[in-house]
């Protein structure tokens, strides 16, 4: 049996005195989507950034396709080329048009010839409903459109896994749907995903498993029906009840 695409073992991370991750164990299998839920500051984003090697872990190991990626001897560039990270705030390149935002990584990063990279980028943008916007400055797009450009940008190199960091949190409610549709499409293609989200409906629909993070620990992991409908730990129950009271679940 092949190893999990992403495997996180005993990962800890502190920023100064503050421990953000207190020993995380989690594996994401091929074609699987795992959603991390939890309050702000519970460590969801930090964990995703650690997997993409943008934040260095303190202890433990992270494996990609069975190879350790968190040793200092590993070239982070090669690892990031096999992963696709999408940020909460899109982080598109404001000096490049929509097309070049998608092209830059595959052309300069992956070394795909420019014409091929452009063709691939056009096709992908069209799939996410952005045809005709290729020459626009990203700042002229709505938040939902910008985030779909970011999805295309991260997916363009067909990464082994996609990391989605609260990709709908910065969006107006009426724009969330289009972005979620794009993610659903990725899921339909069998893309392996590890995602952090505030949208319980989204987690329920897209995720094969849901993990609840509480103060830097994975308190509960299981199928969405179980974690979201019949939580086993008091922390999860409390978190979900608070969401329910706020009308978010």
Partner 1 sequence: MTDRRAERAAERRRRDRRGLLIATVSTVVVIGGLALAILTSPGWEDVQRTFFSWEVFRDSFPDIFKAFWLDIRVFMVAEVAILILGLIVALARTSTAPALFPLRLIAVVYTDVFRGIPTILLVYLIGFGVPALVSSSTESGGALDWLPTEPVILGGIALTLSYGAYVAEVYRAGLRSVHPSQREAALAVGLTERQSMRHVVLPQAVRSVGPPLLNDFIALQKDVALIAIIGVTGEAFRQAQIATAADFNYTPLLGAALLYLAVTIPLARMLDRWQRSRDR
List C-alpha distances in Å: 157 to 12, 82, 88, 176.
29, 8, 20, 24
Q: Which stretch binds partner 1 (CB under 8 A): 63-71, 86-94, 115-123, 231-239?
A: 86-94
Chosen residue from 20, 24, 69, 92 binding partner 1 by CB under 8 A? 92
Residue 157 binds to partner 1 (criterion: CB under 8 A):
yes
* Token pair for 55: 């934040």
Chosen residue from 81, 160, 198, 204 binding partner 1 by CB under 8 A? 81
Residue 80 binds to partner 1 (criterion: CB under 8 A):
yes
| Binding string, residues 223-242; x marks residues near partner 1 by CB under 8 A | --------------------
Contacts of 7 (CB under 8 A, 6+ apart): 26, 27, 28, 62, 63, 66
Question: How far apart, in whole angstroms, are the C-alpha atoms of residue 2 and residue 53?
Answer: 23
Order of strands across the sheet that contains 193-196: 83-86, 161-165, 193-196, 33-37, 209-214, 217-222
Measured from the CB atom, the residue of 87 and 202 that comes closer to partner 1 is 87
Chosen residue from 10, 14, 56, 91 binding partner 1 by CB under 8 A? 91
Residues in 99-138 that interact with partner 1 by CB under 8 A? 104-105, 108-110
* Token pair for 136: 């626009």
Q: Which residues bind partner 1 (CB under 8 A)?
A: 52, 54, 76-77, 80-81, 83-85, 87, 89, 91-95, 104-105, 108-110, 153-154, 156-157
């Amino acid at each position: 049996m092949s190893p999990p695409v992403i495997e996180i073992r005993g990962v800890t991370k502190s920023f100064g005195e503050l421990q953000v991750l207190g020993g995380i164990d989690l594996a994401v299998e091929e074609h699987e989507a795992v959603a991390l839920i939890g309050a702000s500051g519970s460590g969801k984003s930090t964990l995703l950034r650690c997997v993409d090697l943008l934040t260095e872990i303190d202890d433990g190991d992270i494996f990609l396709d069975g190879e350790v990626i968190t040793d200092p001897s590993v070239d982070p560039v090669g690892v990031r080329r096999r992963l696709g990270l999408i940020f909460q705030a899109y982080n598109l390149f404001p000096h490049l048009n929509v097309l070049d935002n998608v092209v830059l990584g595959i052309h300069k990063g992956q070394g795909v010839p420019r014409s091929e990279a452009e063709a691939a980028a056009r096709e992908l943008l069209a799939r996410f409903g952005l045809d005709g916007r290729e020459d626009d400055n990203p700042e002229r797009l709505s938040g939902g459109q910008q985030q779909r450009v970011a999805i295309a940008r991260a997916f363009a190199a067909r990464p082994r896994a996609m990391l989605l960091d609260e990709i709908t949190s910065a969006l107006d409610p009426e724009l969330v749907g289009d972005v979620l549709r794009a993610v659903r499409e990725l899921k339909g293609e069998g893309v392996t995903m590890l995602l952090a989200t505030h949208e319980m409906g989204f987690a329920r629909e897209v995720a094969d498993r849901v993990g609840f993070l509480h103060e830097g620990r994975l308190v509960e992991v299981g199928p969405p029906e179980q974690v979201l409908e019949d939580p086993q730990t008091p922390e999860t129950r409390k978190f979900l009840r608070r969401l329910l009271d706020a009308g978010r679940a």
